[in-house]
Structure 1
Amino acid sequence: MSNRICELFGIKYPVIQAGMVWCSGWRLASAVSEAGGLGLLGAGSMHPEVLQEHIQKMKKATSKPYGVNVPLMYPEIEKIMDIIIEEKVPIVFTSAGSPKKWTPTLQEHGIKVAHVVSSTFFAKKCEDAGVDAIVAEGFEAGGHNGREETASFPLLQKVTKEVSTPLLAAGGMYGGESLLAAQILGADGVQIGSRFAVCAESSSHELFKKEVIKTDEGETLLVLKKLAPTRLIKNAFFEKVFEMENKGGVKEELQELLGKGRAKKGIFEGDLEEGELEIGQIASKLDKVETVQEIMDDIISTYNKALDNVKKYHKL
């Protein structure tokens, strides 16, 4: 299944595991890389020394390509980037900020850079900044999201007309059918988050995994729009936020309600009432805890079946 993304990152399949906070440690990322995809460590929930530990464990666990996802608003960004360069991380996915500042520096050290965007405007900014790949993420995705609230496929179709950089589709991606559909619309591959967030190797809490698997259609929603739009499962904390926003709560009030460590409380510690339960809309399709290998095998199997079906239909 060789294409631009596979060649760029040196991977067998154009499947990237999103670098999700409190889910994407070295066990998950190394398993994805070993299975032929690209595993990403989620630096957004790691202090610099913790990230360095995970990178070192990652290098012992796999000789395959891997990367680190870095939110650019990270408070210790300088230390994080120093560690990434020192440890010779081959690939970095950046998000939540402008790629202009760090892309040249990382590339000077031989690091390939991808950046996550939620609009065509920012996709073009990425291309101007010289990134090696772009991730177009629709608002179906879990966690922090774009203010534009553009769905994945409309976003993808617009972005493919405006940029020529290798492109990944994200937001609502699940299996081989998603991969084929994204490719038909012009992407080279997919970035998958939610399915890997609840897999056996994910570092998320077992109670969180069970809650995600129980989640049905319409049971996630974007909130915290005055801070940073975030897709959450509806729980007690969600209801407090939702009520405050409907009453016209200002940014400062929402910040006070949010406090610190809400995502850790929900995803990593399993507090299903007062934690942020970040997950994508595709949660309604998740019905069991799978291993990474089972997920990757299913993606390739369903991709080939979907491709055969398209070929048969075309002959008609």
Structure 2
Amino acid sequence: MTNRITKLFNIKHPIIQAGMIWASGWRLASAVSNEGGLGIIGAGSMYPEILRENIQKCQKATSKPFGVNVPMLYPNLEEIMQIIIEEGVKIVFTSAGNPKIWTKHLQDHGITVVHVVSSVKFALKSQEAGVDAVVAEGFEAGGHNGRDETTTFTLIPMVKEQLQIPLIAAGGIATGRGMLAAMVLGADAVQVGSRFVACEEASSHINFKNMVVEAKEGDTQLTLKELAPVRLLKNKFFEDIQKLYTTNPSKEELIALLGRARAKKGMFEGDLVEGELEIGQIAGLIHDIKPAAQIVRDMLKEFEAAKVEVASF
């Protein structure tokens, strides 16, 4: 399949693996890239030197294109960007910040820049900032979300209507049928997060992977909107948040409950009681843990079968 995204990234399939914190290291990124998609290293949960190590290992594990996802809200952002440039990374996905700050600088070093947004407004601002493509992510997605709670299949056609640059759909996509639906609505590719959390190469803890596989409809919910909206699996920590909300808490009280390294505790260390467990609504359709390459192949097979089925209507 050849389209604007496959040409932009020089990849075979329009499937992008999201750069999820505590899950997206070099093993996952290289596995997806080797299968013809675009693997992404998630810099959000890595110290600068750990990121450098992951980039170098990924370069040894694949000759195919891969990228790095950089949330622009960390204090060592300049050091992270410098490492990305020094190590010769060719694709960067930015999020959680103003794309104007880094886009031209990265492009001047030969890097393709994609920005993640949750609204038409910010998609257009990203286009004005000169990014090469946009990821439009609906609120079904795991992890941090937009405040407007716009669903993916509402957001994609609204963004497509006004955007000229390539568009990647994200949020609630884990199957070939979902991929086809997103592309029919105007996306050039899909970004997949939750499905790759529950794969063999993800660095997320096996306890977390198993809980994702066991999740059913309604087992996730968006919360902590006063800080940064985040979709979590319901566990004791989530229930503690809900209990605190009954007292009409201040922002400071919510920050105190959240504490430090709560996401690491849950997703990387496997504490399913006190940890923060970020995953999307699509977890209800994830039923097993398997290799990343198999996930890509299964999505493509279902995508092609769904196209034939739709053509027969």
Structure-2 residue corresponding to 1:309: 309
Letter in 2 for 1:8: L
Paired with 1:74 and 1:89, the residues of 2 have a C-alpha distance of 19
Correspondence for 1:82: 82
Read off the aligned partner of 2:134 and give its amino acid letter.
I
Using the alignment, how far apart are the partners of 2:246 and 2:307 within structure 1?
45
Q: TM-score, normalised by structure 2?
A: 0.99
CA–CA distance in 1 between the matches of 2:276 and 2:108?
Answer: 37
Structure 1 range deviating more: 239-248 or 203-212:
239-248
CA distance, structure 1, for counterparts of residue 103 and residue 29 of structure 2: 22
Length, aligned pairs only: 313
Q: How does 1:273-284 map to 2 (within 5 A)?
A: 273-284=273-284
Distance in 2 (CA, whole Å) between partners of 1:72 and 1:113 is: 13
Structure-1 residue corresponding to 2:214: 214
- Tell me whether 1:60 sits opposite 2:57 in the alignment: no
Amino acid in the other structure paired with 1:260: R
1:40-84, Cα deviation, whole Å (9 max, x unpaired) = 000000000000000000000001000000000012100000000
CA offsets 1:84-108 (integer angstroms, 9 cap, x no match): 0111101000000110000000000
The answer for unaligned runs of 5 or more in structure 1 is: none
Tell me by how many angstroms 1:195 deviates: 0.3
SS in 1 for 2:100: coil
Q: Give % identity.
A: 59
- State the match for 2:230 in structure 1: 230
Spell out, residue by residue over 1:190-215, the C-alpha distance to the aligned partner (whole angstroms, 9 max, x if none).
00000001100000000101111111
> What do the CA deviations read for 1:195-250 (whole angstroms, capped 9, x no partner)?
00110000000010111111110010001110000000000100111121232111
Residue number in structure 1 paired with 2:272: 272
* Matches of 1:14 and 1:275, distance apart in 2: 33
Which residue is equivalent to 1:183? 183
Structure 2 residue 297 is the aligned partner of structure 1 residue 297: yes
Unaligned runs of 5+ in 2: none
Aligned partners of 1:43, 1:197: CA distance in 2, in Å? 15
* 1:255-311: CA deviation from partner (whole Å, max 9, x where unpaired): 111111011000000000000010000001111101111101101100100111111
Aligned partner of residue 312 in structure 2, secondary structure: helix
Helix, strand or coil for the counterpart of 2:99? coil
Partner Cα distance (1:41, 1:114) in 2: 14
Corresponding residue for residue 45 of structure 1: 45
Q: Distance in 1 between matches of 2:91 and 2:237?
A: 35
TM-score (normalised: structure 1): 0.98
